[in-house]
Amino acid sequence: MRLETLPNLTRNGMLCRRQFNPSAGSGKPALPVAAQVMPTLELLKIMLECGHTDMKIIIGLCEYWRQFGDRPANLEADFKRLFPDQ
């Protein structure tokens, strides 16, 4: 089913639904939410190690979160732990 054919469901809403429940709509039982959680900075660290991003992007994202107050839990502690050279 194409996203455009779903009434009252935005593309971002559908993508968020898939992100938080990858089995949504697939007929498979949903995994417990706790089994799907990875801290954002840990994911960014993996992406950095794989070459999918760089420190300039990560630092910019963290600065954005700090400026607008919409930050992941433990941002400062996780940043120091995962990126000690920064």
22-72 pLDDT, tens per residue? 555 555 565 555 556 678 899 899 999 999 999 999 999 999 999 988 888
Q: Are residues 75 and 59 in the same domain?
A: yes
What total number of domains does the chain contain?
2
Work out the pLDDT band at 12, boundaries 50, 70, 90.
Answer: very low
Residues 86 and 80: their CA atoms lie apart, in Å, by: 8
Taking the model in full, what pTM does it have? 0.57
Work out the pLDDT band at 1, boundaries 50, 70, 90.
Answer: very low
Could you list the residue range(s) of the whole structural domain that residue 21 is in? 3-32
Residues 81 and 11: their CA atoms lie apart, in Å, by: 35
Per the listing, tokens 């991003």 go with 53
Q: Are residues 19 and 44 in the same domain?
A: no
Q: Are residues 20 and 47 in the same domain?
A: no
Alpha carbon separation from 21 to 4, 28, 36 (Å, rounded): 20, 10, 8
Q: Are residues 55 and 22 in the same domain?
A: no
* pLDDT tens by residue, 56-70: 999 999 999 999 888
Q: Are residues 45 and 77 in the same domain?
A: yes
